[in-house]
Structure 1
Amino acid sequence: RPQRSMKHIPPTTSPLVEEDEFFGPEKEEITKKLLLPESGAPASGWAHVISVWGPWGLGKIRLLKKLYNDFEIRRQFQCFAWVYMPADFETRNIMQTIVVQLVPSMRKRVTKMSFLELAEELISLQLENKCLIVLSDVRDLKNWRMLSVAFPTADKTRTRILLTTREREFAERIGGDVLGISPLDDKQSWKLFERIIDISFNQHAKKTLKEIVTGRCKGSPLAIAILAGYLNNTDTSNSSNSEIDSLKSHLQDEQPDITHAVQKIVSISYAHLPDKLKECLLYLAHLPSEGELHLDDLYVRWIYEDTISKAEQNPMEVAEHYLEELALRNLVQMLEQEQDGPSIGTFLSCKLHPLVREFFTKIGDADKVNTKEFMSVTVPRLPLNSRAYQLIDHPNLRSLTFAGTFEPPPEILTSKQLLVDFTEFYLLRVLEFYGIDFRGWDLPRGIGQLIELRYLSFQRCYLEKLPSSIGELILLETLDLRVEPNCIMAIPNVLWKMTKLERLYFPARFQCADSNNNKKNNRLSLKNLGELQVLVNFDAQVCHVRHLQAMTKLEEMSAVVVESHIDLDAILDYTRSSLVRRLSLDVRNFNCYSENTRTVLAKLFGCEALVSLHLEGYIKKLPTDVALSYKLVEIVLSGSELESDPMPIFGQIANLRSLVLCKDAYVGTGMKCGRTSFGELRSLKLRSLRNLETWDVEEGAMPQLMILSIEKCARLEMLPAGLEYVARLRELKIVSMPPRFEERLQGEEGEDVRKVKQLPRIIICSSV
Structure 2
Amino acid sequence: MDASDVAISLVICSSLHVLSVEKFLSSGKHARMEKAINHLQNILNTSKLLESSTNDGQQSYDCRPRLLDQAQHAVVMADKLLMEASRHLKFCKGPLAKIRTLVHFMLPRICTMALDFVTIVEDLSTHLSQMQDLSQDPLNLDKTAHRGSVRWDGKVESDIVGREDEVNKLLAQLIGEDGYPDALSLRVISVVGEEAIGKTVLVRSVYNRLEIDHSFQCRIWVHVPEEFTMKDLLVKIMKQIDVLELNDLEHKGEEKIKEIIYNSLVELRYLIVFDNLRKIEDMDEFMIFLADRRSGSRVIVTTRIPEIPSLIDPWASPVKLNELNADAGACLLRECSSIVDNPGLKARILSKCSGSPLRILLLRGLVAASGDSSAVMVDQLADNPTLRAIVSLSYHKLPSLLKPCLLYLCLFPKESAISIRRLFRLWHAEGWVQASLFTVEECFEELAGRNLVQVVRRRKVGGRPKLCRVPSFLYDILCEMATQLGLLQIHSNTKHTDHSKKAEVFNGCPLWTAKYEEDRREHHQHSGIRLQHLRSYVFFYTQKRVTRSRDMEELLGPLIAKGDCGLLRVLDLEGVYKPRLPDRIGNVLPNLRYLGLRRTALDSIPESVGNMSSLETLDLKYTNVRNLPSSIWKVKSIQHLYMNEVCFDESTSRHKSSLKYLSNLQTLWGLCIEVATSPMVDVLSEMTGLEKLGLTGSSLVVEEATKSISDLKIIRSLKLRARDLFGQHSNLNLSDMTGLVSLLDLYLLGRMPQGDSLKLLPRNLRMLTLSMSRLIHDPMSVLGAFESLEILNLLGGSYTGEELLCGSGSFPKLRVLKLWKLERVKDVHVQVNALRCLEELEIKNCGLLKSIHSLSDVESLKQIRLIKVNENLATKIKRVLTGQVFATQDK
TM-score bucket of the superposed structures, by smaller chain: 0.7 to 0.9
SS at match of 2:362: helix
Kept after mapping to 2: 8 A contact 1:590/1:615: no
Kept after mapping to 2: 8 A contact 1:61/1:136: yes
Q: How many residues align?
A: 699
Match of 1:130 in 2: 269
Match of 1:633 in 2: 766
Aligned-pair CA distance for 1:120: 6.2
Taking the aligned partners of 1:149 and 1:675, their CA distance within structure 2 comes to 59
Kept after mapping to 1: 8 A contact 2:454/2:471: yes
Aligned-pair CA distance for 1:604: 5.4
Match of 2:163 in 1: 22
Taking the aligned partners of 1:416 and 1:646, their CA distance within structure 2 comes to 53
Aligned-pair CA distance for 1:271: 1.9
Q: Residues 186-209 of structure 1, C-alpha deviation per residue, up to 9 Å, x if partnerless?
A: 32553334434322478xx73564
Taking the aligned partners of 2:681 and 2:232, their CA distance within structure 1 comes to 43
Q: 1:10 and 1:180, CA in 2 relative to 1: closer, same or farther beyond 3 A? A: same
Aligned-pair CA distance for 1:538: 1.5
Kept after mapping to 2: 8 A contact 1:420/1:445: no
Q: Alignment RMSD, CA only? A: 4.3
Q: Residues 419-462 of structure 1, C-alpha deviation per residue, up to 9 Å, x if partnerless?
A: 223616711112212322237x5569856411211111123433
Equivalence map 1:456-467=2 (5 Å): 456-467=595-606
In the alignment, is residue 251 of structure 1 matched against residue 381 of structure 2?
yes
Aligned-pair CA distance for 1:61: 2.6
Taking the aligned partners of 2:590 and 2:214, their CA distance within structure 1 comes to 56
Kept after mapping to 1: 8 A contact 2:539/2:573: yes
Kept after mapping to 2: 8 A contact 1:26/1:179: no
Q: 1:62 and 1:623, CA in 2 relative to 1: closer, same or farther beyond 3 A? A: same
SS at match of 1:30: helix
Match of 2:298 in 1: 160
SS at match of 2:637: coil
State which of 865, 872, 876 in structure 2 corresponds to 1:744: 876
Kept after mapping to 2: 8 A contact 1:488/1:511: no
State which of 627, 639, 659 in structure 1 corresponds to 2:792: 659
Q: Residues 624-670 of structure 1, C-alpha deviation per residue, up to 9 Å, x if partnerless?
A: 69453134233232333322211121122233232222334223232
Match of 1:643 in 2: 776
Higher helix proportion (structure 1 or 2): 2
In structure 1, stretches of 5+ residues that fail to align are: 1-5, 101-105, 256-260, 515-519, 746-751
Taking the aligned partners of 1:168 and 1:381, their CA distance within structure 2 comes to 32
Taking the aligned partners of 1:40 and 1:232, their CA distance within structure 2 comes to 43
In the alignment, is residue 330 of structure 1 matched against residue 456 of structure 2?
no
Match of 1:749 in 2: none
Match of 1:687 in 2: 820
Equivalence map 1:55-454=2 (5 Å): 55-69=194-208, 76-82=215-221, 90=232, 94-95=236-237, 97-100=239-242, 123-124=262-263, 126-137=265-276, 151-153=290-292, 156-167=294-305, 179=318, 181-200=320-339, 206-207=343-344, 209-214=346-351, 216-237=352-373, 239=374, 244=375, 247-248=378-379, 250-255=380-385, 261-309=386-434, 318-337=439-458, 342-343=460-461, 345-366=463-484, 375-382=511-518, 385-390=523-528, 392-393=529-530, 395-406=532-543, 418-421=553-556, 423=559, 426-438=566-578, 446=585, 448-454=587-593
- Residue type at the aligned position of 1:329: R
Aligned-pair CA distance for 1:388: 2.4
Aligned-pair CA distance for 1:288: 4.6
- Residue type at the aligned position of 1:389: S
Aligned-pair CA distance for 1:251: 2.2
Q: 1:565 and 1:350, CA in 2 relative to 1: closer, same or farther beyond 3 A? A: same
Match of 2:106 in 1: none
Taking the aligned partners of 2:567 and 2:677, their CA distance within structure 1 comes to 34
Taking the aligned partners of 1:118 and 1:548, their CA distance within structure 2 comes to 52
SS at match of 1:495: helix
Taking the aligned partners of 1:542 and 1:91, their CA distance within structure 2 comes to 51
Q: Residues 96-148 of structure 1, C-alpha deviation per residue, up to 9 Å, x if partnerless?
A: 54224xxxxx8xx5766966998667545544343334454567989878977
Q: 1:612 and 1:417, CA in 2 relative to 1: closer, same or farther beyond 3 A? A: closer
Match of 2:25 in 1: none
- Comparing 612-621 with 33-42, greater Cα deviation is found at 33-42
Give the alignment's TM-score, normalised by structure 2.
0.68
Q: Residues 243-281 of structure 1, C-alpha deviation per residue, up to 9 Å, x if partnerless?
A: x25633x322545xxxxx222112122222222233332
- Comparing 288-297 with 109-118, greater Cα deviation is found at 109-118
Kept after mapping to 2: 8 A contact 1:590/1:617: no
Aligned-pair CA distance for 1:691: 2.8
Kept after mapping to 2: 8 A contact 1:523/1:544: no
Q: 1:32 and 1:143, CA in 2 relative to 1: closer, same or farther beyond 3 A? A: same
Taking the aligned partners of 2:245 and 2:809, their CA distance within structure 1 comes to 45
Kept after mapping to 2: 8 A contact 1:51/1:162: yes
Aligned-pair CA distance for 1:83: 5.6
In the alignment, is residue 753 of structure 1 matched against residue 861 of structure 2?
no
Q: Residues 393-441 of structure 1, C-alpha deviation per residue, up to 9 Å, x if partnerless?
A: 362211221113247999x77x7974223616711112212322237x5
SS at match of 1:719: strand
Aligned-pair CA distance for 1:381: 2.4
Kept after mapping to 2: 8 A contact 1:658/1:684: yes
Taking the aligned partners of 2:234 and 2:398, their CA distance within structure 1 comes to 42
- Residue type at the aligned position of 1:399: S
Q: 1:54 and 1:660, CA in 2 relative to 1: closer, same or farther beyond 3 A? A: same
Taking the aligned partners of 2:654 and 2:672, their CA distance within structure 1 comes to 10
SS at match of 1:536: strand
Match of 1:584 in 2: 718
Taking the aligned partners of 2:371 and 2:149, their CA distance within structure 1 comes to 23
Match of 1:499 in 2: 636
Match of 1:765 in 2: 889
Aligned-pair CA distance for 1:285: 3.6
Taking the aligned partners of 2:837 and 2:225, their CA distance within structure 1 comes to 36
Equivalence map 1:411-560=2 (5 Å): 418-421=553-556, 423=559, 426-438=566-578, 446=585, 448-483=587-622, 487=624, 491-506=628-643, 508=644, 527=659, 529-530=661-662, 531-541=664-674, 545-547=678-680, 549-550=682-683, 551-560=686-695
Q: 1:35 and 1:703, CA in 2 relative to 1: closer, same or farther beyond 3 A? A: same
Taking the aligned partners of 2:299 and 2:678, their CA distance within structure 1 comes to 51
- Residue type at the aligned position of 1:764: T
SS at match of 2:721: strand
Kept after mapping to 2: 8 A contact 1:641/1:665: yes
- Residue type at the aligned position of 1:480: D
Q: Residues 341-382 of structure 1, C-alpha deviation per residue, up to 9 Å, x if partnerless?
A: x4384423433222222222222355699xx97822222224
Q: 1:110 and 1:670, CA in 2 relative to 1: closer, same or farther beyond 3 A? A: farther
Kept after mapping to 1: 8 A contact 2:710/2:739: no
Taking the aligned partners of 2:571 and 2:565, their CA distance within structure 1 comes to 11
Aligned-pair CA distance for 1:233: 2.2
Q: 1:488 and 1:581, CA in 2 relative to 1: closer, same or farther beyond 3 A? A: closer
Match of 2:696 in 1: 561
- Comparing 676-685 with 535-544, greater Cα deviation is found at 535-544
Taking the aligned partners of 2:340 and 2:738, their CA distance within structure 1 comes to 54
Q: Residues 147-185 of structure 1, C-alpha deviation per residue, up to 9 Å, x if partnerless?
A: 7787304x5542212243454567777779683642323
Match of 2:138 in 1: none
Q: 1:480 and 1:93, CA in 2 relative to 1: closer, same or farther beyond 3 A? A: farther
Taking the aligned partners of 1:212 and 1:8, their CA distance within structure 2 comes to 18
Q: Residues 34-93 of structure 1, C-alpha deviation per residue, up to 9 Å, x if partnerless?
A: 1369899844xx443334344552222322234335566566444445565667685575
Give the alignment's TM-score, normalised by structure 1.
0.78
